[in-house]
Amino acid sequence: MPRGSEVLRRTGGRTVKSIVYDEAAIAKKVAELGAEITRAYPDGELLVLGLLKGSFIFLGDLVRKIERPLQVDFLVASSYGSGTTSSGDVRLLYDPETRLEGKHLVLVEDIVDTGNTLRKLLGVLRERAPASLAICALLDKVAMHEPMPEVRFVGFEAPTAFLVGYGLDHAEDFRHLPFIADLM
C-alpha cells in the first residue's frame, strides 16, 4: 500500500502541507472513543447516527470498537444550497429511517467547525424524543465555535487549518487518504 508522498501524488496533482494525524494516531483514538462510548451506555438501545458524507470512514471504524449491541443509521444535512457559504437554513436531505424515540443517540461527525449546522440539527433530533443525545466528533475546532455541551466524545482538538483525509474532503477529493493532513 502506498504511503505518505506516494498517496499524495495520486490526488489529482494537489498536495498537502503536512500530515496532522497519522494512521496509528487515528486508530488509537478511535479505539479509545469506542471504549468510552461502550462505558457510557451500558444498557438501553444505542443508535449511532452518522452525518454524511464526512463521517462514513470514522463511523465505520468506530462502531467496530463499540463493544455492545447498537444500530447504525445516517443522515445528510445541508446549509449551503448552491453557494459556498452557509445559509444558516439547515435542511435534512436524507432523514434517518430508524425510530429515534427512547434511544440513546450518538451523532457521529467528522469535524465540528463553526458548529452552526450541528446546533440546528440537534434541535431537529431533540424533537424526536431520544432518551439521550450526544455528539461524537473525531475532530473539534474548539477555537472556531462557541462551546457546545453536546460534544461529549472528542478525538482530537483540531488546529484551525483546512484538513483533509480520513473522510474529510475538499471538493469531494482527499476523502480516501488514510491520515488527516493540512491542505496547501
Q: Which residues are catalytic?
A: 113
As separate numbers, helices (DSSP H) first and strands (DSSP E) second, the chain gives 4, 9
Find out whether 106 and 33 touch, Cβ atoms under 8 Å. no
Distance CA 41, CA 29 (A): 19
Short-list 95, 135, 100, CA closest to 115: 135
| Order of all β-strands in the sheet with 163-164 | 16-21, 180-183, 163-164
Rounded-to-integer distance, Cα 37 and Cα 108, Å: 11
Of 38, 37, 182, residue with least CA distance to 111: 182
